[in-house]
Structure 1
Amino acid sequence: MTSVQVGKRHDGDEAAGSASEEGYQRGLGNRQIQMIAIGGAIGTGLFLGAGKAISKAGPSIILTYAVVGIVIFIIMRALGELLMYRPVSGSFSEYGREFLGPFMGFVTGWTYWLFWVVTGITEVTAAATYVQYWNKSIPQWAAALVFTIALFGINLISVKIFGELEFWFSMVKVTAIIGMILIGLGVITLGFSDAGETASFSLLWSDGGFFPKGIGGTLMTLQIVMFAFLAVELVGVTAGEATDPKKVLPKAINTVPWRIGLFYIGALIIILSVVSWTVFEPGVSPFVAAFAKIGLPAGAGIVNFVVLTAALSSANSGMYSTGRMLRDLSRNGQGPKMFTYLSKNGLPTRGTAVSVAMMLFGVWINYQWPGEAFNYVVSFSTISGMWAWIAILLSQLRYRAKVNRGELPASSFRAPGAPYTSIFALAFIGMVIVMMGVDPDARISLYAAPVWGLLLAIGYLVIKNRNPEVFAGRKEGASAAPAKED
């Protein structure tokens, strides 16, 4: 297998070939990639976290989602430009390594792995919470354990099974949100159900105004909203297993504006017009609460099943991503060599297994602090997830500079408005981090981040001393054929 050289353009068939040489099977077709892109960010952040955001900001949360949505689209187009330059499964870690140096690639890869481990804990925590809607006698930790083991089993079969499961997970979420929007519109316009007499678009400004908690209250929800969009970049990790990345990935990225407009902004407008924002509480899904107020208890149960599906979908995606990221680090000499191995089905099972073992720590969190588990992990997953976005934007800026100097050819999918839009997105992320420091609930992540940074710095120095050739520009592991497990 030929080595993937830093700075070399892999275009057309060569790009596809380089991905195939990673050893993965191209089992994700257009249908699966599109639904992974649509459903990837529809998870706990929207279905559960939105309740806390609404209680803090009122109807102005709609504006927050719209502004953050614009930033997310900028990030995704920056990622798209890099993916069309060189579509590889390592994605953000690979680009960080190529354009920002070995240390940045090391930090990005391990931080993104940690992000999905922590997010997996978040999602199984949320799923366990949803189960208690039907039966409070089931311990939260027990449900979290069952979900973790079941999803791990699914990820051991094949990438096609993963893609098909994600397709149907996403289909459930998309269908449900569209159905909720239509039912809500019926309540507002036709006046049926118990909420019909009071449901009105005027609820968006009648109960204390559009900014009932002031601009400050709205700003304090930024980290909650950013968390809701985490995982939108997952489509970049699928580049190594997509059947036609040059065609499929741009289409998936270009769906970002309309899915944000429909599934986030549209759904919140309808919910907050059916029921006053004062009804919603932190820790309670606004979708379930809205249907309960409408007087459709069966509807609330259905919505609870949908949000359970959303949480499991996100956790499933996390297990998929962690194994690929560990293998990319291993192939580049920045992680244990054991993670280089693939199963007979072309799956990085060892990396996935270690990641799932770490996710089981979430079961212990649910056992120790069942009421606070979700809040503990949300803030840290937000800061670690945003690091991937920072790496994407910085890599794209450096790539664009090299293109302008004639050192690299231009991508076939250029980000509009760059570099100015990318600089704006970086500044916005910086503002969110500052706001997290102001918010007592989110501040814990800023305490944990330096500890993680110190561990990474120590690990980097150890690996650099053992493998100096890796940090001299050579990419260890890329020149060796992927080994297979027995």
Structure 2
Amino acid sequence: MVQQHKPGGGLARSLSHEQMTMIALGSALGTGLFLGSGAAISVAGPAVIVCYALGSLIAAIIACAAGEMAVKYPVRGGFGTMAGRFLGAFGGYITRWAYWATTVCVAGAELVAVSTYLRFWWPELPLWWGIAAFGVGVILLNAFSVKSFGLVEFFLSGIKVFAVIAFILIGLILIFFGLPSHPAEGVGHLTENGFMPNGASSVWLAMALVMFSFGGVELISISAAEAKDPVRSVRTAGKATIWRLATFYVLALFVVMSLMPWSAAAASGELETSPFVLVFSEAGIPAAAAILNFIVLVAALSAANANVYAGTRLLHSLSYQGMAPRGFRRTSASGIPVRALIGSTVGILLVVVMAASGISNVFVLMVALITSCVLIVWFMILLAYVFYRRREGASSSFRLLGGVPMAILGMVGLASVFSTVFVLEDMRMAGLVGVGYFVVLTVLYFAVVRRHVTVDREAFEEAGRATGASERPAEAGAEV
């Protein structure tokens, strides 16, 4: 029988596979689709559809690799713990601290977006008020119980999924069939100025902007440690997340590029000129801007909620191997790592202070760190998977199609995407900030952390019990 909770340090296993799917979608399906695609469109034009198709492929490789390892070992810390097991202590340390920085920055940045959307109805509302109010709500939700978190995240993500499906269906009707007041648009906009108006290289250049939208696919691995049935949940949630994200992103961008000239879509940075508003307005839906504002607010709030959850679990797992203070391993009576939760609110506190002090580029600065960190994290997941397959073989019931060669292909793709960070002027800051962060992490590891690192054997023992494994995993946590 699955152990539901171990007082003092164990996590409660209460997430269903439906909730795990929505947690992953909650982070990956956010402002990157609703309002953030304009920057990628400005670089690639209609060919941005190809960018999102390639991005979906890379994201699928990452999600499947992380999922395959999580089915075998649904351990706390997810892929970060896997990196420590198969790449050594330093690999696990870099992966988890990089991802922790990503999650706390995303949570803060998404709450900035939430507060900005509130100004649609209350223009005079100070930015920091909205951040603080919703930040407290997100923290309390994560502190109550993981079951309540899963239910709320299921609801919030469900609103986004419904909105995207409605957007795609209405858009396809407008493109191919039309409405009584609106003739069929057709697909002429895709080629009227050339499918690749900025050249074939624009597809490569836009990939860094596109991949940011897929951040969150790796959350299935993190949430596996709190799944009721880890094997079934990871397998089901992994497949559902991959197919839904690929379908949503590619079809949504096809609709946008078909319904409006790419130059207009690239310039749509304000709420009133968003592609989503255009589609709903053309369909005759009243108050389209207000409806969209509510949807993107929910999208941002859901993403902030999911990333606070992920950051908390990463910090909790780091404490078990001496890579973070031991106090972060303590959990409440309901299985919530409250101290790790408090530590993971640093991103929220940071943006509150910045917004209150009047700093105007807080969102840009945080996105810069997010982009470079998440690309490194994904690369480390695939690298850990290569070593996992070399040691464990194809021993999981959920497998990455193509195995190691497909993972290597994904690593090549990520390296190519990361190189564009230093080519695009707007993204160059991301590379510089990211490099500086990893230099600091490396210095701290060899100067302080290395002598405190321990092996979290208990995590693999608990994972074995959760999956029904009869044998104790050999060499848990050993360095390669």
- Alpha carbons of 1:220 and 1:290: their partners in 2 closer, same or farther (altered >3 Å)? farther
Structure 2 counterpart of 1:201, from 187, 190, 193 = 187
Structure 2 counterpart of 1:164, from 140, 144, 151 = 151
Which residue number in structure 2 is paired with residue 443 of structure 1? 428
Q: Secondary structure of the equivalent of 1:210?
A: coil
Q: Distance in 1 between matches of 2:268 and 2:131?
A: 21
Structure 2 counterpart of 1:44, from 7, 10, 31 = 31
Q: Distance in 1 between matches of 2:209 and 2:426?
A: 10
The residue type paired with residue 276 of structure 1 is P
Structure 2 counterpart of 1:327, from 300, 316, 326 = 316
Which residue number in structure 1 is paired with residue 468 of structure 2? none
Which residue number in structure 2 is paired with residue 349 of structure 1? 338
The residue correspondences of 1:286-365 to structure 2 (distance < 5 A) are: 286-292=275-281, 296=285, 298-365=287-354
Which residue number in structure 1 is paired with residue 477 of structure 2? none
- Alpha carbons of 1:299 and 1:193: their partners in 2 closer, same or farther (altered >3 Å)? farther
Which residue number in structure 2 is paired with residue 241 of structure 1? 226
Which residue number in structure 1 is paired with residue 475 of structure 2? none
Which residue number in structure 2 is paired with residue 484 of structure 1? none
Q: Distance in 2 between matches of 1:118 and 1:259?
A: 25
Query: Contact between 1:20 and 1:240, CA under 8 Å: does it hold in 2?
Result: no
Q: Distance in 1 between matches of 2:42 and 2:135?
A: 30
- Alpha carbons of 1:275 and 1:295: their partners in 2 closer, same or farther (altered >3 Å)? farther
Query: Contact between 1:126 and 1:311, CA under 8 Å: does it hold in 2?
Result: yes
Greater CA drift, 259-268 or 163-172: 259-268
Q: Distance in 2 between matches of 1:17 and 1:462?
A: 38
- Alpha carbons of 1:153 and 1:39: their partners in 2 closer, same or farther (altered >3 Å)? closer
Which residue number in structure 2 is paired with residue 149 of structure 1? 136
Which residue number in structure 1 is paired with residue 388 of structure 2? 399
Structure 2 counterpart of 1:417, from 386, 389, 402 = 402
Matched, 1:270 2:270: no
Which residue number in structure 2 is paired with residue 131 of structure 1? 118
The residue type paired with residue 76 of structure 2 is S
1:416-442 CA deviation, whole Å, 9 max, x = no partner?
112111111101111111111001111
Matched, 1:121 2:116: no
CA shift, 1:237, in A, is 0.7
Aligned residues with identical type, % of pairs? 35
Q: Distance in 1 between matches of 2:223 and 2:76?
A: 6
Q: Distance in 2 between matches of 1:286 and 1:273?
A: 11
Q: Secondary structure of the equivalent of 2:380?
A: helix
Query: Contact between 1:55 and 1:282, CA under 8 Å: does it hold in 2?
Result: no
Which residue number in structure 2 is paired with residue 27 of structure 1? 14
CA shift, 1:58, in A, is 1.7
- Alpha carbons of 1:299 and 1:437: their partners in 2 closer, same or farther (altered >3 Å)? same
CA shift, 1:292, in A, is 4.8
Q: Distance in 2 between matches of 1:146 and 1:32?
A: 25
Q: Distance in 2 between matches of 1:380 and 1:286?
A: 27
CA shift, 1:289, in A, is 4.6
Which residue number in structure 1 is paired with residue 376 of structure 2? 387
Which residue number in structure 1 is paired with residue 456 of structure 2? 475
Q: Distance in 1 between matches of 2:38 and 2:282?
A: 15
CA shift, 1:57, in A, is 1.9
Q: Secondary structure of the equivalent of 1:220?
A: helix
Which residue number in structure 2 is paired with residue 7 of structure 1? none
Query: Contact between 1:117 and 1:355, CA under 8 Å: does it hold in 2?
Result: yes
Query: Contact between 2:107 and 2:347, CA under 8 Å: does it hold in 1?
Result: no
Q: Distance in 2 between matches of 1:198 and 1:85?
A: 50
Structure 1 counterpart of 2:40, from 42, 53, 74 = 53
CA shift, 1:165, in A, is 0.5
Q: Secondary structure of the equivalent of 1:460?
A: helix
CA shift, 1:158, in A, is 0.6
Which residue number in structure 1 is paired with residue 83 of structure 2? 96
Q: Distance in 1 between matches of 2:4 and 2:174?
A: 53
CA shift, 1:399, in A, is 1.1
Q: Secondary structure of the equivalent of 1:376?
A: helix
The residue type paired with residue 385 of structure 1 is V
- Alpha carbons of 1:365 and 1:61: their partners in 2 closer, same or farther (altered >3 Å)? farther
- Alpha carbons of 1:435 and 1:91: their partners in 2 closer, same or farther (altered >3 Å)? same
The residue type paired with residue 453 of structure 1 is F
Q: Distance in 2 between matches of 1:379 and 1:252?
A: 29
CA shift, 1:115, in A, is 0.5
CA shift, 1:249, in A, is 0.6
Which residue number in structure 2 is paired with residue 8 of structure 1? none
Query: Contact between 1:43 and 1:311, CA under 8 Å: does it hold in 2?
Result: yes
Greater CA drift, 365-374 or 88-97: 365-374
CA shift, 1:290, in A, is 4.2
The residue type paired with residue 308 of structure 1 is L
CA shift, 1:77, in A, is 1.3
- 5+ long unaligned stretches in structure 1: 1-12, 482-486
- Alpha carbons of 1:189 and 1:401: their partners in 2 closer, same or farther (altered >3 Å)? closer
CA shift, 1:171, in A, is 0.8
Q: Distance in 2 between matches of 1:429 and 1:282?
A: 28
Which residue number in structure 1 is paired with residue 195 of structure 2? 210
Q: Distance in 1 between matches of 2:307 and 2:230?
A: 21
CA shift, 1:190, in A, is 4.3
- 5+ long unaligned stretches in structure 2: 463-480
CA shift, 1:245, in A, is 0.6
Q: Distance in 2 between matches of 1:188 and 1:443?
A: 38
Which residue number in structure 2 is paired with residue 6 of structure 1? none
Q: Distance in 2 between matches of 1:211 and 1:290?
A: 23
The residue type paired with residue 179 of structure 1 is A
CA shift, 1:358, in A, is 3.5
Aligned residues: 457
CA shift, 1:370, in A, is 6.5
The residue type paired with residue 288 of structure 2 is G
Which residue number in structure 2 is paired with residue 220 of structure 1? 205
- Alpha carbons of 1:396 and 1:465: their partners in 2 closer, same or farther (altered >3 Å)? closer
Q: Distance in 2 between matches of 1:252 and 1:373?
A: 34
Query: Contact between 2:157 and 2:302, CA under 8 Å: does it hold in 1?
Result: yes
